[in-house]
């Protein structure tokens, strides 16, 4: 066993060794010693980042806001849209229309990249579409964005026309029903007029028969008052004529009664029913026209416009990020250099 040196006292168990401790003062001394390296290096990196950001091209954002078209109305009054905002936004983000835009505007994909980003506006059934363009290409960007909206309108325009065509068919059916009802009503109205004319004619005939009967009764009564002999035959003739007139009068009254009952029960009731059907059909046509008028294609809530200020490069963020990264990098470099120096000094002693 080796003997312990008399001046060396063993550390108590579980007592930390001061040789393994790193004091905060040592860190501060290293930072103070290399302060100019850290400060200078950080400033240089920040300045370089600022110079680079100033030389970077300015990027502007072109945005537009669109709303899905309306395809119909539900029974509860809410709208049926031609497509959901999720589907439309997914198509735009997926680049479904990019190739068609490049072909339409004769763009070279290697030189000009068509790329859109769409997002659904919260608490609103609208989509915001954005794209980024360099300062000199903002005019082209507006044109490209407008072409996107145009393609969307063409794409969903077929659905809109189909829906309008469906309403047109329903309206045409209702209009034909109205025409049929009106023709039948006119026919019944004409029949009623003829019946009224017939009743008026019968009434005149009744008046004539009454007058004739009254005249016959007057003549018969005159013969009876005179009391002459040989008047039996004329009296019998008057009596028979009067009876015939009364019988004929009863027949005519029955005809008038039948005409009136027929007019009341059949023609008038049917006309009233037809008028109700006509009014109902017209109300339905009005409703169909109103629903058809609500059908619309993609709506442009906000026309394509260029942002007032460039969205890239974000100079302040670039300089700040470069400064922070450089600060940590030079702090690490300072400690690394200090470590190398201390290791070099301790190396001969260790030998």
Supply φ then ψ for residue 153, to 5 degrees.
-65, -40
305 phi, psi to nearest 5 deg: -140, 155
Question: Does residue 239 sit in the same domain as residue 261?
Answer: yes
- pLDDT higher than threshold 80 for residue 283: yes
Task: Give the closest residue to 298 by CA, choosing from 88, 102, 114.
Answer: 88
User: Would the pLDDT of 12 be above 50?
Assistant: no
Among the ranges given (107-111, 198-202, 338-342), the one the predictor scored with the smallest mean pLDDT: 198-202
Is 156 among the domain residues? yes
Q: What angle do CA 93, 95, 96 make, to 5 degrees?
A: 115
For residues 35-54, average pLDDT: 89
Is residue 223 in a domain? Answer: yes
Mean pLDDT value across the chain: 82
Could you read off the pLDDT of 55-114 as tens digits, one per residue? 888 999 999 999 999 888 777 878 888 899 999 999 999 999 999 999 999 998 888 889
My answer on whether 287 and 177 are in the same domain is: yes
SS (H, E, C) 78-118: CEEECCCHHHHHHHHHCCCCHHHHHHHCCCCCCCCCCCCEE
Q: Kindly report the backbone phi and psi dihedral angles of residue 60, in degrees, each rounded to the nearest multiple of 5, phi listed first.
A: -110, 155
80 and 154 housed in the same domain: yes
Answer yes or no: is 143 within a domain: yes
Q: Is the pLDDT of residue 222 over 50?
A: yes
- Which of 1-15, 113-127, 258-272 is modeled with the greatest confidence? 113-127
Residue ranges making up the domain that contains 124: 59-161+299-306
CATH at residue 239:
1.10.287
Same domain, 269 and 180: yes
On whether both 136 and 246 belong to a single domain, the answer is no
Per-residue pLDDT at 5 exceeds 70:
no
| Amino acid 128: pLDDT | 95
Whether residue 83 contacts residue 157, with contact meaning beta carbons closer than 8 Å, is answered with no
What pLDDT score does 232 carry? 65
Residue 350 has pLDDT above 60, yes or no: no
Whether 329 shows a pLDDT value over 60: the answer reads yes
> Does residue 244 sit in the same domain as residue 329?
no
State pLDDT tens for residues 134-166.
988 999 999 999 999 999 999 898 889 988 999
The share of the chain scoring above pLDDT 90, in percent, equals 33
Statement: the pTM of the whole predicted model exceeds 0.95: no
211 and 269: one domain?
A: yes
Confidence check: pLDDT of 266 > 70: no
């Amino acid at each position: 066993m080796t003997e312990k040196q008399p001046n060396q006292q063993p550390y108590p168990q579980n007592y930390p060794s001061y040789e393994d401790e790193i004091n905060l003062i040592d860190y501060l001394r290293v930072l103070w010693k290399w302060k100019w390296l850290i400060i200078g290096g950080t400033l240089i990196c920040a300045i370089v980042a600022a110079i680079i950001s100033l030389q970077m091209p300015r990027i502007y954002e072109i945005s537009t806001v669109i709303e899905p078209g309306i395809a119909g109305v539900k029974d509860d009054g809410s709208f049926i849209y031609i497509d959901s905002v999720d589907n439309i936004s997914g198509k735009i983000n997926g680049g479904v229309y990019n190739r068609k835009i490049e072909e339409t505007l004769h763009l070279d994909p290697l030189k000009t990249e068509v790329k859109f980003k769409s997002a659904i506006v919260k608490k609103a059934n609208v989509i915001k579409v954005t794209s980024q363009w360099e300062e000199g290409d903002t005019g082209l960007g507006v044109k490209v964005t407008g072409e996107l909206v145009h393609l969307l309108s063409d794409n969903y325009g077929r659905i809109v026309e189909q829906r309008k065509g469906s309403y047109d068919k329903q309206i045409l059916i209702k209009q034909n029903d109205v025409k049929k009802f009106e023709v039948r009503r006119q026919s019944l109205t004409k029949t009623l007029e003829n019946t009224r004319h017939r009743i008026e004619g019968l009434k005149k005939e009744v008046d004539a028969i009454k007058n004739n009967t009254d005249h016959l009764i007057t003549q018969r009564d005159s013969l009876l008052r005179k009391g002459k002999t040989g008047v039996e035959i004329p009296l019998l003739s008057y009596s028979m004529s009067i009876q015939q007139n009364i019988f004929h009068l009863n027949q005519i009254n029955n005809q008038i009664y039948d005409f009136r009952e027929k007019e009341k029960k059949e023609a008038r009731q049917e006309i009233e029913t037809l008028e109700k059907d006509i009014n109902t059909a017209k109300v339905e046509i009005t409703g169909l026209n109103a629903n058809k008028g609500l059908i619309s294609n993609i709506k442009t809530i906000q026309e394509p416009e260029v942002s007032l200020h460039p969205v890239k490069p974000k100079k302040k963020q670039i300089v700040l990020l470069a400064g922070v990264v450089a600060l940590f990098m030079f702090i690490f470099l300072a400690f690394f250099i200090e470590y190398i120096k201390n290791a070099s000094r301790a190396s001969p002693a260790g030998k």
